[in-house]
Amino acid sequence: MVVETTIRRDEKRREARRRETSIVRRLALVRIVALVAVLAGLNYIVWRWLASVNWESWWIAVPLVLAETYSFIDSLLFAIGAWRLRERHDAPTMRRQATVDVLVTTYNEPLDLVMDTARAAKAIRYPHETWILDDGDRPELRALAEAEGIGVVTRSEAWRDRPRHAKAGNLNNALMVTEGEFLLILDADQIPSPDILDRTLGWFEDEKVALVQTPQWFVNVPPSDPLGSQAPLFYGPIQQSKDGWNAAFFCGSNAILRREALMQLGVSRYVGEVTLAVNRGVRSSRRVLARARRDFGSDPRVAAALDAVSTALDDLRTGIARGDALADLTYSFQQRIQAVRRELSDQDIADVRAELAALAEITGDPASLAAIDETTLDALGDRHLSPLAAVESVSMLVDSFDVGREEEAQAVMPLATISVTEDMATSMRLHGLGWRSVYHDEVLAKGLAPEDLPTMLTQRLRWAQGTMQVMFRENPLLQKSLGWGQRIMYFGTMWSYLAGFAAVVYVAAPILNLSFGVMPVQAFSLDFFARFIPFFLVNQLLFIVVANGRPTWRGAQYSLALFPVWIRAVTSAFDNVYRGRSLAFSVTPKTRSLENRPRWDLVRPQLFVMAALVASLVIVAIRFIAGQADGIAPFVNIAWVLYDLAVFSIIIRAVLYSASDHEPKGF
């Protein structure tokens, strides 16, 4: 017996050593290729800017060189990530018993689907408690779940008439009523493997690890994956690259989080938000006061009241500057305003009741902390404020920025609510607090991917919009609490979503050349090929080496072919963040299940592009015959058009693809 185990242990050790060697070898190869790729890229892009732009056709030449610079930076970011590619294998052994809550999030998914996941969650071997977080608050689901001993959490009363913050809100609500040390988060369709916790909890032996993310993998997808649902490169080398820089990020499901880290994040965010809000409240109040003084300063009784408010505000400001505790400052400020209010006679109250109602309409429901700002105040200014209303509005402004965060259901919101994709923002903030993350590259849950084009498009748009919201609201490059590697890794993901703009140029340039002979570069000379071909080839090679046998073509196709989605994501997120417009989620008409008709209308821009690409081939043939086209340029551009067509061809397949006969299978 003893001999046997020794042999097995030896084998294990040898196996581990073999793995170690292969990891080291692979990383060495990746680094060499990455370095060469970056040098070849520099060699090309510098030459492009300095010596090859055809300024006569600057209107296409400049966009093209910009698009190419975009792609160069993209490959640079990829190479920087790959430099630290981190392949982890088994987690260390967990040496103590931990408490775990498994949380299955749902809103409106079919009951049997949710229950399948919940049952699988309950069957996870490691001791844990299972909860369904039902944001739809469905009594039938509660009955089903409770019959099987599975807990159900729904929103508490505090959320009524307050911003719900979708899934982030759902999880924040559940954090307040569960108490496990760790939280495994699962989307309603992600069937977990029974050993998911045994395989991953060990990473938390490192006390600074806050997050372990595992891949999302889909069962209802054929090997050809026409909708590009699997993300083998992302859930693999890309997350491993980020992991190497301690920037592997949270993807919303199939991840384990440390409660202490989340709560610490929630509490420190709370402090930040309150500080911001009180300062904003003070600023706004001063403006209201100034206005009231202008309008009523002549009435001595009012002037006295306004002076009192003004002094209270000054004291509040001094207190903030001195670093006094905000709870105390705001409390005593409120008390003083109360006193001022009492001194003004009751007769005013009737006069202003109507105004206050209007005021409450404006200030009562701030969708976010930023809601009461200059715009609101300008709206206030348009009204004729009576003296008491002026005092009252100061108090209301400060009220709504109070330390109680009256406008939110919970004062502490651990999961970020600044984006429709709460996951990435949350992990970025956790990294900012100094926590670590782990990417565990083993499929431990199997889910369902969108089954048709409309659903897929909606999902991609949402992800892209969420990522762009984070970029505009909390640009990683500006986060001082992150290391440079982390900033670059987070930014890299955002950068990749800007591909839509480059894609437009990449189809327009060859079409223009073939159709009208427009030259965006000075010449397709030997110089061009000598610089472009190494750049192109070495980058492809880097891709292949990093992908290590995983398919990459589908991802490459969609990063260009979904250009209208990416562009819309950027513009709508921009409007949302800077102009306060709603993201206007595209409501996907769920007609497919009824009619099963291909939705060509959803990909009109792509069809138009494909038609233009084909037309340019026809036109260049005519121009050849007419003797208008010669030299090497048309051939380069024909090759380019053929590449574009190969890329866009996936759109046709996607439209024609419909509900699969691939029955979902769990573990």
Partner 1 sequence: MLQVDIDSRDGATVVAPRGRLTMVSARSFRETVTDKIARTGGSVVVVDLSATEFIDSSGLGALVACLKTARQSGGDLRLAAPTEQVTMVLGLTNLDRVLRPRATVDEALRD
Give residues in contact with partner 1 (CB under 8 A).
Answer: 176-177, 179-181, 259-260, 262-264, 266-268, 270-272, 274-275, 323-328, 331, 402-406, 410-412
Q: Measure Cα distances from 482 to 154, 191, 247, 491, 583 in Å.
A: 35, 34, 9, 12, 28
Cβ–Cβ contacts within 10 Å for residue 222, how many? 12
Closest CB 644 distance from partner 1, rounded Å: 52
Which residue lies nearer to partner 1 by CB, 327 or 339? 327
**Nearest to partner 1 of 198, 399 (CB atom):** 399
CB-nearer residue toward partner 1: 99 or 475: 99
Taking the complex as a whole, the smallest distance from the CB of residue 76 to partner 1 amounts, in Å, to: 36
The smaller minimum CB distance to partner 1, of residues 181 and 575, is found at 181
Q: How far is the CB of 562 from partner 1 (least distance, A)?
A: 40
CB of 348 to partner 1, least distance (A): 22
Alpha-carbon torsion 326, 328, 333, 334, what sign? positive
- For the chain, what's the residue count? 667
Complete DSSP assignment for 12-55 = HHHHHHHHHHHHHHHHHHHHHHHHHHHHHHHHHHHHIIIIIB-G
Please say which residue, 62 or 411, places its beta carbon nearer to partner 1: 411
CB of 149 to partner 1, least distance (A): 20
Inter-residue contact 634 to 513 (CB < 8 Å): yes
The residue ranges of DSSP E strands in 5-160, in sequence order, are 100-106, 129-134, 151-153
Query: DSSP alpha helices (H): ranges in 160-299?
Result: 166-175, 196-200, 239-244, 259-296
Closest contact distance (angstroms) between CB of 180 and partner 1 is 8
Complex with partner 1: residue 170 or 572, whichever CB lies closer = 170
If the CB atoms of residues 268 and 376 are measured against partner 1, the closer one turns out to be 268
At what angle are helices 58-83 and 526-547 packed, to 10 degrees? 30
| Pairing, β 255-258 against β 209-213 | antiparallel
Rounded Cα–Cα distance for residues 230 and 215 (Å): 10
Distance of closest approach, residue 182 Cβ to partner 1, in angstroms = 10
Helices 326-343 & 259-296, crossing angle to 10 degrees? 30
Nearer to partner 1, 16 or 339 (CB): 339
- 262 or 573, CB closer to partner 1? 262
Would you say 260 and 179 are in contact if contact means Cβ atoms under 8 Å apart?
A: no
Q: Is 639 exposed, middle or buried (0-12, 13-18, 19+ CB in 10 A)?
A: exposed
Our CB check for partner 1 shows the closer of 174 and 444 to be 174
Residue 495, CA distances (Å) to 201, 287, 491, 502, 577 in order: 32, 40, 6, 11, 18
Which residues contact residue 542 at a Cβ distance below 8 angstroms, ignoring those fewer than 6 apart?
30, 33, 34, 37, 75, 78, 79, 82
Which residue do the tokens 């206007």 mark? Answer: 584
The Cα 261–Cα 593 span in angstroms is 42
Contact present, 432 and 265 (Cβ < 8 Å): no
- Considering beta carbons, is residue 101 or 474 the nearer one to partner 1? 101
Q: How far is the CB of 332 from partner 1 (least distance, A)?
A: 8
Smallest distance, partner 1 to C-beta of residue 405, A = 6
Phi-psi region of 16 (alpha: psi -120 to 50; beta: other; left: phi over 0): alpha
Judged by CB, which is closer to partner 1: 407, or 452? 407
Are 560 and 648 within 8 A, CB to CB? yes
CB 522 within 8 A of CB 54: yes
User: Of the two residues 431 and 531, which places its CB atom closer to partner 1 in the complex?
Assistant: 431
Q: How far is the CB of 396 from partner 1 (least distance, A)?
A: 14
Q: Provide the minimum distance between the beta carbon of 406 and partner 1 in the complex, in angstroms, as a whole number.
A: 7
Which of residues 274 and 444 has its CB atom nearest to partner 1 in the complex? 274
* CB 599, min distance to partner 1, A: 46
| Residue 206 beta carbon to partner 1: minimum distance, rounded to whole angstroms | 18
Q: What is the dihedral of CA 501, 503, 505, 507, to 10 degrees?
A: -150
Min dist. Cβ of residue 305 to partner 1 (A) = 22
Angle at 384 between CA 383 and CA 387, to 5 degrees: 125
> What is the rounded CA–CA span in Å between residue 575 and residue 581?
6
Q: What percent of the chain is helix, strand and coil (3-state, nearest 5)?
A: 65, 5, 30
Find the helix packing angle between 563-579 and 453-473, rounded to 10°.
Answer: 40
